[in-house]
Structure 1
Amino acid sequence: MARRDYLNTLMRDLESHTEVRRFGSGWLSGFFGLLFAITGFFLVIALRFPDWFATPELEIVKNWTGFRGFVHLILLVSYGLALLSLLLRPRKVLGLTALMIGLVAALLGGANVQPAETRDWGIFFGLDFFIVNLLVTGFMFAPLERAFPHRRAQRLFRTEWREDLFYYLVSTMFVQILSFLALAPQAFVNDHTSSWAAFRAGVASLPWIVQFAIVLVASDFVQYWFHRSFHKFPFLWGFHAIHHSAKSMDWLAGSRMHFVEIILLRSITSLPLFTLGFAPSVMQAYIGFVYVWSSLLHANVGGSFNRLGHWLATPRFHHWHHGLEREAFDVNFAIHFPWLDKIFGTFHLPKDRWPQNYGIPEDVPKAYWGQFLYPWTRTGKKTDETPAE
């Protein structure tokens, strides 16, 4: 009970209103102290148990000579900010939590921690991948949302942020399993289409920028119909409804996606891209691009972009796809190019208008496991929220 009370107090302080977390209140130092402490702790865990919690693709970063010094600096900064928050803030929970997490990281060995001997099962959970992605994406979009917000009153720790952060954790920590399952179909196709060698060589010989442009269009065409089918067929909608159940839109909301849908989406999208001979660097660039692009489309970033929105997807274009109004149902399926929606009759972008609310008129469970089971337990029960006309 005491632990639950402590966590509730911590959450309330994180979610405090703007007027009680102004500059000089100790909230900013407490928040960033907590952020750096968690970052340092997770990196220490990844260094101590690399077989379990380290992503092989990030090995080059951890082998950098200054990496451990960077981890040490992160922990030192977290201590300093935690102490500052304890001095400034009447409610001590942020600073105290940051200090405790930082001290635990130090007790584990801090930046000088050495790898522990563990049995390598060949399976890892990308804890380092999670924290690096979260920091990079967060520092990219959180300031952008604050500088150019669509909904100015929406806070960083808005409604349901915990659920979306957990989805972010799952999709990044299970990156190995997700990638294996998603890439299995293309591996099968490549193994059984050796006769395509000449065609693949021709694709690979195209200029890099041409390959990238083809990948953008081809992937969006495939995703358009994949996306549309998840709206059309009731069983598939049960998975996609989880993504649409978010009642607030920001860069983190895009991570709310059912585990099964992630696998299917990546499988279908990667199938043509990884089997037609595109250069590996093109695919790597596309993966990085679409990761950032998806976060941008969900971000709480304003701007009408009336003309641009007819040809290139913008936050307002995609926000209409998430709208609760009836006019927002089953529209704007494209991820990159709205002209696909124009061609197939699903384009909707009323000039200068945004949807009033987000979500779906279904009674979707709040907790992760309830949402995970929702496609199989879904009754179609409507909520009291009636879609606006």
Structure 2
Amino acid sequence: MFSLHELLFLLGAGIALIVLERLLPLHPGQKIFRPGWRIDLMHVFLTGMVIRLGMVLALVVASVLAISVVPEPVREAIRAQPDWLEFVELLVLSDLCFYVAHRLCHAVPALWRFHAVHHSSEHLDWLATFRVHPIDQIFNSTLIALPALVLGFSPLPLLIYALIYRVHSPMLHSNVRISLGALGWLVTTPRFHHWHHADQIEAHDHNFGGQLTIFDRLFGTHYVPGERSLPVRYGTGGAIAQRYLSHLLQPFGLKSESNSTEPVELVSQPVLPSPISPGESRPSP
């Protein structure tokens, strides 16, 4: 279950982003209660509980393995650094893991089947952030958390990173027109991430970064065509049925009993020319 402070945080962030979506919309005219909002609300609470349970187990196992991999003197040396430097290191390393995990989820068909649930939203706003399959989210979150688990960063940098991540993620999916000026060259924005969700062939397999654009720029996957351009379509072309149970069952090739005619075959996105495995030096959710 969600604690009271988590519910208050979610409510406060939601209200703030809804207000911004009304004042500074990327897509003017999109309604608050757009198609699919009930499904996404179910993901917030029902899928969220499953993810929390799965993450506890995954992080415990990863922490035990991490302690045996990295010598304690190394972890102590990292914690001896200034907090601001630890934060910068944590941000860059975590976003590199985000990039690799995210790119793998698009390049590996078995992973894409689960990640496609997140891409099935045909209307992006802050609530669409939470449309995820538990297996996809647990896989991604565990890889993203590896630097923190393995290297043992101090509590304050971890707290700051966690708070920024929790605010930044729904902001990226929000229907908000935000310009960061020169900082937008480095930090991801809603326009950047909306192009990642575009159901347009020219946008497939681009913009994998979570909070930073540097790895997309470095590995040639950055794509924002023009300062004011926006996608005209989102989603997966109907490959994922717009029902909550379908989101959970369809990646396994199963049908929801509520609709026996639902499609069960997923349409994979075109894979990149040379995706890499986790052990290679160049990155390939």
Number of the residue aligned with 1:249: 124
Find out whether 1:380 has 2:266 as its counterpart. Answer: yes
Task: Report the alpha carbon displacement of residue 127 of structure 1 after superposing the two structures with TM.
Answer: 6.1
Alpha-carbon distance in structure 2 between the residues aligned to 1:286 and 1:305: 19
Would the aligned equivalents of 2:40 and 2:131 in 1 still touch at CA under 8 Å? yes
Q: Which of residues 299, 302, 321 is equivalent to 2:174?
A: 299
Q: Deviations over 1:131-169 (max 9, x none)?
A: 324312212211111111111201111110011111111
Alpha-carbon distance in structure 1 between the residues aligned to 2:183 and 2:169: 17
Would the aligned equivalents of 1:127 and 1:173 in 2 still touch at CA under 8 Å? no
Task: Report the alpha carbon displacement of residue 347 of structure 1 after superposing the two structures with TM.
Answer: 0.8
Alpha-carbon distance in structure 2 between the residues aligned to 1:206 and 1:127: 33
Structure with a larger share of its residues in helix: 1
Would the aligned equivalents of 1:129 and 1:173 in 2 still touch at CA under 8 Å? no
Q: Which of residues 235, 238, 254 is equivalent to 1:359?
A: 235
Q: Identify which of structures 1 and 2 has the higher relative contact order when contacts are C-alpha pairs closer than 8 Å and 6+ apart.
A: 2
Alpha-carbon distance in structure 2 between the residues aligned to 1:130 and 1:365: 30
Task: Report the alpha carbon displacement of residue 306 of structure 1 after superposing the two structures with TM.
Answer: 7.0
Q: Which of residues 40, 43, 46 is equivalent to 1:170?
A: 46
Alpha-carbon distance in structure 1 between the residues aligned to 2:76 and 2:47: 33
Number of the residue aligned with 1:323: 198
| 1:82-97 mapped onto 2 (5 Å cutoff) | none
Task: Report the alpha carbon displacement of residue 179 of structure 1 after superposing the two structures with TM.
Answer: 3.1
- The alpha-carbon distance between structure 1 residues 172 and 279, as it changes in their structure 2 partners (threshold 3 A), is same
Question: Any idea what SS the aligned residue of 1:192 has?
Answer: helix
Q: Which of residues 277, 290, 310 is equivalent to 2:152?
A: 277
Question: Any idea what SS the aligned residue of 2:71 has?
Answer: helix
Would the aligned equivalents of 1:313 and 1:338 in 2 still touch at CA under 8 Å? yes
| 1:105-124 mapped onto 2 (5 Å cutoff) | none
Q: Deviations over 1:1-24 (max 9, x none)?
A: xxxxxxxxxxxxxxxxxxxxxxxx
Task: Report the alpha carbon displacement of residue 292 of structure 1 after superposing the two structures with TM.
Answer: 0.5
Identify unmatched segments of 5+ residues in structure 2. Answer: 254-263, 269-285
Q: Deviations over 1:74-126 (max 9, x none)?
A: xxxxxxxxxxxxxxxxxxxxxxxxxxxxxxxxxxxxxxxxxxxxxxxxxxx22
Q: Deviations over 1:369-389 (max 9, x none)?
A: 21111212142369xxxxxxx
Alpha-carbon distance in structure 2 between the residues aligned to 1:159 and 1:249: 10
Moved more, 290-299 or 279-288: 279-288
Number of the residue aligned with 1:114: none
Number of the residue aligned with 2:8: 132
- The alpha-carbon distance between structure 1 residues 244 and 381, as it changes in their structure 2 partners (threshold 3 A), is closer
Find out whether 1:313 has 2:214 as its counterpart. Answer: no
Task: Report the alpha carbon displacement of residue 233 of structure 1 after superposing the two structures with TM.
Answer: 0.9
Question: Pairwise CA RMSD of aligned residues?
Answer: 2.0
Identity of aligned residues (%): 33
Identify unmatched segments of 5+ residues in structure 1. Answer: 1-124, 383-389
Q: Deviations over 1:213-260 (max 9, x none)?
A: 111100110110100000001110001100000001111111111011
**AA aligned opposite 1:380:** L
Find out whether 1:348 has 2:236 as its counterpart. Answer: no
Task: Report the alpha carbon displacement of residue 300 of structure 1 after superposing the two structures with TM.
Answer: 0.4
Alpha-carbon distance in structure 2 between the residues aligned to 1:227 and 1:283: 21
| 1:31-180 mapped onto 2 (5 Å cutoff) | 125-126=1-2, 128=4, 131-174=7-50, 176-180=52-56
